[in-house]
Chain A
Amino acid sequence: MRTALVVTGLVLATLLTGCTGEPDPATPVGPAEPGVLRVLAGSELTDMQPVLDEAAKATGIEVKFTFTGTLEGAEALANGEVDGKYDAVWFSSNRYPAGIPDAAKRLGNQVKVMSSPVVLGLSTSSAKRLGWAGERVGWGEIAEQAGRKAFSYGMTDPSASNSGFSALVGVASALAGAGNAVDAGQIVAVTPQLKSFFGAQSLSAGSSGWLSEAYQRRATGQDPGAQVDGLINYESVLLSMNAAGNLPEPLTVVYPSDGVVTADYPLTLLADAGDDARDAHQRLTDHLRTADVQRKIMETTHRRPVVPGVEPAAAFAVRDLVELPFPAARDSFDALLSAYFNEIRRPSRTLYVLDTSGSMAGDRIASLRSALVSLTGADDSLTGRFRRFRSREEVTMLPFNTAPAAPRTFALPEGDPQAGLAEIKAFAEGLREGGGTAIYDSLSRAYEVMGPLVAADPDRFTSIVLMTDGENANGSGLAEFQASYRSVPEQVRQVPVFTVLFGEGSSAELGIVAAMTGGKVFDARNGELGEVFQEIRGYQ
């Protein structure tokens, strides 16, 4: 009886104090408490909150989430950042950390909760046009049509998000056709086909949530960006978008006949978790795997049940899917990611509009310099290696203060980016602060600079990053920019602006700029500018 009272009291305390996740996996969510499971998780699990709220009532176990990306999570496991700070991890799959010995050894009891395959969703008319509605096609045919630009699609950055990573592995395995887990040698062999396939990717995102929103905004014409025919994502995301009913036409789900990679969401106790956490994990997973809760998960999140005997919903049009073998070794992952960024995907064109006004003096200008330098190869961490400027990328720097300075464009040739990276590094280290803040004159200048670059080579992922630490003080204002933006040539107007709030940057105005250009706001006011610059790489 006494145990019961203590447990309940603690649960009540956590309910009253509430819970919010910090984005940094190193930031503790609090000390270990009975009845509380501190979980480092993939952000797509936010949709499980209603189920977990009910689970808390039924079991007395409260889940405290901290969200992070797939690679970041694996890295936090491998370098011990999770030790003592979390009781469990919950990602869409444990395949990535399992390939890193230092991360794998920290994984304890794993209990699968639900599953969702990574598949292709196409707008109904695109699926009909391609003859794929209600048909089974293989990745080979999908890659062939993609190579002909018969359709376009969006996908998340495979170094930031598991859906992109799974898609990359799935396509490579299927195209390799060897029937075993793909290895580095096979990846080299299928690189030409992978180039065809990813040539049709017209939208990249660091998170699955933003990708779906961007697809929808483009489909409805809210964003200036060109419409996209489809998305590669979890079946659950595609079905959820259809269920929400905000798309002009629903997505037709294409289940590749030669196989898929499926996320199975193992709620995984950490190996060093204490007895209370062990008990909480056991009770929570027992509850989540009861037939009723499995059905509730299916209804709420459109993920498939994993417990035998729970009948899958009719919406899962193809039930029996071939699962492609997934490489177990990290060198295979690394080879695939490296090939994707440096050889396979369409190259990026990235323009940085950088505030170097007087208010940037001191730590701020130092942060800006180091944030840029880390993108030139200084950051050798698991994630950093895949966030740096890539082979074939074209990078333009446009610093500004009272007026925009002269832009400088750097080319990073395929296979030999070192000289270009060194130039960017030297440029970043030479940034000096001083003068006023002409945000909109500089942004207008950025669009002017883009004009001839886009015209000369239109087939790139093109984007602008606008970083400022203050309010606009010189030259034209937001209203004038909005007016002039309308006369920007269409091809250039489609370039999104990813705005970075820093120091006293105006969140309202930068939000408007991001929204009108189809970009996104990133907040570096309370965090590391370097981390935000890395995060933005997922969208470039």
Chain B
Amino acid sequence: MKRRLSIGLAVVLLAAVVAVVVWGRPDDAEGGEAGDLTVVRGVIGSEKLAFFSDRRVIDAFAAQGLQVEVDTAGSRQLATSVDLGRYEFAFPSSSPAAQKIQRDRKTTAAHTPFQSPMAVATFEPIVQLLQAAGVVVKGPGDYLVLDVAEYLELTEAGTRWDQLPGNTAYPARKNVLITTTNPAESNSAAMYLSIVSFVANGNTVVGTPEQEAAVLPDVARLFRDQGYTQNSTEGPFEDYLAAGMGKTPLALIYESQYLDRVLRADGSIRPDMRLLYLAPTVYSKHTLIPLSDKGDQVGRLLSTDPELGRLAATFGFRTNDPRLFAEVVGDKAPADLVDAVEPPSFETLERLLDAVGT
């Protein structure tokens, strides 16, 4: 009896798995279904997995004769520990990691098809509180920004939410802190560190060991006081979306994460949710380093193919050609962000990340 049941079940399972093979991502098919497409393998920062897994993106590459298969890795790991010999392109999410790979691989080739500034996802009551505290201000552009210098001052004093004057909206007995990911494991935390170290260094990119030592106490606290942090930027952003203000009043994210949700219009961005830009901010520059001719072809297509550009914009990325981003995003985001700075060198950033992670 039990055996007959299992065989019955097997028929159901067979149908299910076949369906996956036929309709699933081409990389499930282990080359069997690739037909005459050329397979190109790359390793990417996990922020772009949804883009590369999207049916429309797969089709756009197929139209050019390519089937792109990707593995994901953290941008830090990509620049240090991942064996790139297995891949035809590396696609980290930041320029310092890309520069390190270029140096190691002795190549100057690179494509920067899209980028995304770091931003903070928050809620209207929090925006009002921080406006009253002078931390959120109207920036040089026509949008609200979180003034990082003011924020550093507030956090240096260990200010708790319930100590903000007139706070009835969010009187939590915990420090005013932006929720980030683990600096040891995640690119977004490295980008955040680039911003706060710039401001703590008197609005100059940190470039010397003396400057590193000088900014460390101020920037390390921003991570240490948070305690446990998650290892992927999806973590805090999902908490923000699903659990709400109590858990994550301020989540450090890529602008693209928020715009992706806005453009999907799936109801996950509720009316009281707000996106704040950081002043200054840095751009997470998604930089593709080709490791072969086929890898280079992927980079060129991403940079020049209008269909792929439009698709990247639907995932909230700012495209090389600003018109594509503007067409897709419209007035849902400012066209230009005026106050952007450069991250430190890979080596400086590595040392800072190691120091704040301990």
A residues apposed to B, CB below 8 Å: 1-5, 7-8, 11-12, 15-16, 57-60, 95, 98-99, 107, 109-110, 112, 115, 174, 177-182, 258-259, 262, 279, 283, 304-310, 319-328
Contacts and interface: CB of A to CB of B under 8 A. Distances in A.
A535 B3 CA distance: 38
A361 to B, nearest CB: 45
**B28, B239, B247, B268: most-surrounded residue (chain A CB, <10 A):** B247
A15 B17 CA distance: 16
Contacts of B30: 3
Given A8-B14, A57-B12, A306-B238, 13 more contacts: A1-B18, A4-B21, A12-B7, A16-B3, A109-B232, A112-B235, A178-B175, A179-B174, A262-B243, A306-B242, A319-B244, A322-B174, A327-B228
B174 A60 contact: no
A179 B6 contact: no
Contacts of B160: 179
Nearest to B229: A328
B226 interface: yes
**A110, A179, A258, A283: most-surrounded residue (chain B CB, <10 A):** A179
B227 A325 contact: yes
A304 to B, nearest CB: 8
A308 B12 contact: no
B173 A258 contact: yes
B18 A4 contact: yes
Contacts of A112: 235, 238
B231 interface: yes
B213 interface: no
22 contacts: A1-B21, A3-B29, A4-B14, A8-B10, A8-B14, A15-B6, A59-B20, A98-B228, A177-B173, A180-B175, A181-B226, A181-B228, A259-B172, A262-B243, A308-B241, A308-B242, A308-B266, A320-B243, A323-B247, A325-B227, A328-B227, A328-B229
B323 interface: no
B247 A322 contact: yes
A156 B348 CA distance: 45
The 8 nearest A-B residue pairs measured at CB: A181-B227, A308-B241, A180-B225, A308-B268, A179-B175, A179-B160, A325-B227, A323-B247
A15 B14 CA distance: 14
A285 to B, nearest CB: 12
A316 to B, nearest CB: 11
A112 B12 CA distance: 28
Given A3-B30, A12-B10, A59 B248 contact: no
A177 B161 CA distance: 12
B115 to A, nearest CB: 24
**A15, A99, A308: most-surrounded residue (chain B CB, <10 A):** A308
A7 B14 CA distance: 9
B241 A1 contact: no
A11 B13 contact: yes
Contacts of A57: 9, 12-13, 16
A506 B298 CA distance: 70
Interface in B174-191: 174-175, 177, 182
A179 B224 contact: no
Contacts of A7: 17
B246 A180 contact: no
Interface of B: 3, 6-7, 9-10, 12-14, 16-18, 20-21, 28-30, 32, 46, 72, 158, 160-161, 172-175, 177, 182, 224-232, 235, 238-239, 241-248, 261, 266-268
A304 B242 CA distance: 9
B327 to A, nearest CB: 26
Contacts of A178: 158, 175
Nearest to A177: B173
A107 B267 CA distance: 32
Nearest to A59: B16
A3 B32 contact: yes
Contacts of B13: 8, 11-12, 57, 60
A327 B28 CA distance: 40
Given A57-B13, A59-B16, A308-B268, A3 B6 contact: no
A178 B9 CA distance: 56
A320 B174 contact: no
Contact of A309 (B72, B177, B239, B268): B268
A256 to B, nearest CB: 11
Contacts of A262: 243, 247
Contacts of A174: 173
B122 to A, nearest CB: 14
Contacts of A320: 243-247
B225 A181 contact: yes
A16 B5 CA distance: 10
A349 B45 CA distance: 55
A309 B267 contact: yes
Contact of B238 (A3, A5, A12, A308): A308
Contacts of A319: 244
A107 B243 CA distance: 24
B228 A60 contact: no
A112 B237 CA distance: 12
Given A3-B32, A258-B173, A322-B247, A110 B230 contact: yes
Nearest to A56: B13
Contacts of B266: 308-309
A279 to B, nearest CB: 7
Contacts of B46: 109
Contacts of B32: 1-3
B14 A325 contact: no
A281 B45 CA distance: 18
Given A57-B12, A279-B28, A323-B248, A179 B158 contact: yes
B227 to A, nearest CB: 3
Nearest to A16: B6
Contacts of B20: 4, 59-60, 283
A148 B9 CA distance: 59
**B160, B227, B232: most-surrounded residue (chain A CB, <10 A):** B227
A319 B270 CA distance: 15
Contacts of A321: 243, 246-247
Contacts of B246: 259, 320-323
A177 B46 CA distance: 36
Contacts of B261: 308
B220 to A, nearest CB: 12
A279 B242 CA distance: 26
A421 to B, nearest CB: 33
B243 A115 contact: yes
A181 B267 CA distance: 33
Nearest to A115: B243
Contacts of B14: 4-5, 8
Nearest to B173: A258
Contacts of B12: 57
A358 B6 CA distance: 50
B228 A258 contact: no
Given A98-B228, A322-B246, A4 B175 contact: no
B172 to A, nearest CB: 5
B71 to A, nearest CB: 9
Nearest to B14: A8
B172 A8 contact: no
Contact of B242 (A12, A59, A181, A305): A305
**B232, B241, B246, B261: most-surrounded residue (chain A CB, <10 A):** B246
A110 B173 contact: no
A152 B248 CA distance: 32
A467 B13 CA distance: 48
A107 B7 CA distance: 36
B243 A110 contact: no
